[in-house]
Chains A and B, each alone.
Chain A
């Protein structure tokens, strides 16, 4: 029943609480297959919470989330992830006591062609092969980010959620990351949160601006670049 819809993911009026604090008031996002969609907006707007809500780490209070047409709102995180979602958290959260191989091994799900995906990962991130048997606590910030992405890539996921990949990375690493993501987004659609203007605009095909827990603006890459007022109005850049 793999109806290859145009959209991998649709969020309709999604609301979320953290404890008793109301964070998301109404998020509406559509992610098209084979593309990269970027969530922009000032800090504290609810971008990270949106990714956490999609991945199931924070169940939504209201609204629907359609993954490939199926409503996954409220399902436990492991079920959503197992149905083909990869999640790369803001501060990477790599398992430092495990080696790179072990990080990837436990992320690989049943029925996944582990060796084939491993080749793909080594191609994209050679460092992973170099330190494959080492404990991942020795990795640098950039390498840790690569491992975190590799964990999401080890399975042939429909959708990969990435939370501020450029955070804390040197410019040359950001450029390297840009063309990696541009490759990844072809087969495994990407939804990412990004503050770095250069990465956002050189990776993203579609953009949403999230402010005070709501998606306030939507546009394509061309519209964004053409119209400076959007940047002024929403991002204060």
Chain B
């Protein structure tokens, strides 16, 4: 019985982490066709900023919100100076974001050094809860809660607000959004910044759990890619379900088959690509 609870709680908390990491990545790729390999680096910088801000201001919440805002601004600047000039040339965009990984990683090393920073959860989150005789760190429950809240807020935004409708329309037919009089370039900037802010938020929330160190970017970029491939491009709910599935897969493999745990997300992705190239939950077909 207790193993089942563990799988649910720890698998879910891992899944929510993957969701926070990959939701922005999927949104940006779906709407703008931009595959931002540096998305993992945004997540990593979110870890560092979350750590620094919550340490300097003493409030954990300010830390994660501040980190999300800063990374959002970073995304805005990056989109304006680096992504927009290459609009329409997907190859050069990919190669540019690939190069950005190095720039952001080395910058982090210059500023934060190569050591790992440990951040302990705030007092109101550092205890352990007891669920059916299982001691579960409260922070894990907070991660699940945070992931679900972000999913609901983003779904509301996409479903109910005009901006959300425009983003969904743009994912389907970007040229036509221009033809109904909407400045698509501005929508792209907002969406890119929003996507990066989500990664920053994810990073800041992950720090008390993972810590902040300079190799997070490469570790996490593969998880983001796996979620996008399994969930289907541009489908936000797809990213959510795919993240949950991946969370369970990686927890279960690391518990029962530790040797495979490093490769579990990669194998899962390769299997899905071979069976259903456009992911389990629809989204643009990968043959386009």
Partners in one complex: yes
Which positions in A face B, CB cutoff 8 Å?
55-57, 76-78, 81-82, 87, 89, 93, 95-98, 102-103, 105-107, 109, 151, 155
A87 to B175, CA, bound (A): 12
Q: Are the C-beta atoms of A57 and B179 separated by less than 8 Å? A: yes
User: Is the CB–CB distance between B176 and A55 below 8 Å?
Assistant: no
Those of B156-215 within 8 Å (CB) of chain A:
162, 165-166, 168-169, 171-173, 175-184
Interface centre among A55, A57, A93 (most CB of B within 10 A): A93
Q: In the complex, given contacts A97-B172, A98-B169, what are 14 additional A-B residue pairs having Cβ atoms less than 8 angstroms apart?
A: A57-B178, A77-B178, A78-B183, A78-B184, A81-B181, A89-B176, A93-B173, A93-B175, A95-B168, A95-B169, A95-B172, A102-B169, A106-B165, A109-B181
By the criterion CB–CB under 8 Å, are B165 and A98 in contact?
A: yes
Q: Is A151 in contact with B169, judged by CB distance below 8 angstroms?
A: no
B183 and A106 form a contact (CB under 8 A): no
Q: Are A105 and B179 in contact (CB under 8 A)?
A: no
Cβ-closest chain A residue relative to B163:
A106
Contacts of A105 in B (CB 8 A): 162, 165
User: Among the listed B165, B168, B172, B178, which residue makes an inter-chain contact with A78, where contact means beta carbons less than 8 Å apart?
Assistant: B178
On chain A, the residues within 8 Å of B177 by CB distance are 106
B30 to chain A, nearest CB (A): 11
Chain A residues with Cβ below 8 Å from B182 are: 78, 106
Are B162 and A106 closer than 8 Å at their CB atoms?
A: yes
List the A side residues contacting B169 at CB < 8 Å: 95, 97-98, 102-103, 106
Overall SS of chain B's interface: helix
On chain A, the residues within 8 Å of B165 by CB distance are 95, 98, 102, 105-106
- Which residues from chain A contact B179 at a C-beta distance below 8 Å? 55, 57, 77, 81, 87, 89, 93
Task: Determine the chain B residues whose CB is within 8 A of the CB of A77 once the complex forms.
Answer: 178-179, 181
B 90-114 to A, binary, CB cutoff 8 A, 1 in contact else 0: 0000000000000000000000000
**Complex Cα gap A56–B182 (Å):** 12
Alpha-carbon distance A46/B172, docked complex (angstroms): 26
Question: B285 to nearest A CB, angstroms?
Answer: 14
Say yes or no: B178 contacts A107, CB within 8 Å. no
Q: For A56, A77, A89, A106, which residue has the most chain B Cβ atoms within 10 angstroms?
A: A106
Please give, as numbers and ranges, the residues of chain B lying within 8 Å of A102 by CB-CB distance: 165, 169
Closest chain B residue to A104, Cβ basis: B180
Distance of B113 from chain A, by nearest CB (Å): 46
Report B184 CB to chain A, min CB distance, Å. 7
Cβ contact within 8 Å between B173 and A78: no
| A95-B169, A98-B165 known; A106+B180 contact, CB < 8 A | yes
Contact A57 B181 (CB under 8 A): no
State the Cβ distance, B137 to closest chain A Cβ, in Å. 39
Q: Complex formed: what's the CA distance from A82 to B166 in Å?
A: 16
Q: Mark B251-271, 1 if CB is under 8 A from A, else 0.
A: 000000000000000000000
Smallest CB gap from B170: residue in A: A95
Instruction: Find chain B residues with CB under 8 A from A87 CB.
Output: 179-180
Quick check: A78 and B181 within 8 Å, CB to CB? yes
Contact yes or no, A95 B173, CB < 8 A: yes
Please, could you name 27 A-B residue pairs with CB atoms under 8 Å apart, sorted by A?
A: A55-B179, A57-B175, A57-B178, A57-B179, A76-B178, A76-B183, A77-B179, A77-B181, A78-B182, A78-B184, A81-B181, A82-B181, A89-B176, A93-B173, A93-B176, A95-B172, A97-B171, A97-B172, A98-B165, A98-B168, A102-B165, A105-B165, A106-B180, A106-B182, A107-B180, A107-B181, A109-B181
List the A residue with the shortest CB-CB distance to B185: A76
Complex interface: chain A residues within 8 A of B171 (CB): 97
Measured between beta carbons, the chain A residues less than 8 angstroms from B181 are 77-78, 81-82, 107, 109, 155
The 5 closest A-B pairs by CB, nearest first: A81-B181, A93-B176, A95-B169, A107-B180, A77-B178
* Closest B residue by C-beta to A93: B176
Task: Identify the closest chain A residue to B159 (Cβ).
Answer: A102
Give the distance in Å from the alpha carbon of A109 to the alpha carbon of B175 in the complex.
17
For the complex, what is the distance from the CA of A87 to the CA of B162, rounded to whole Å? Answer: 20
A57–B179 Cα distance when bound, in Å, is 7
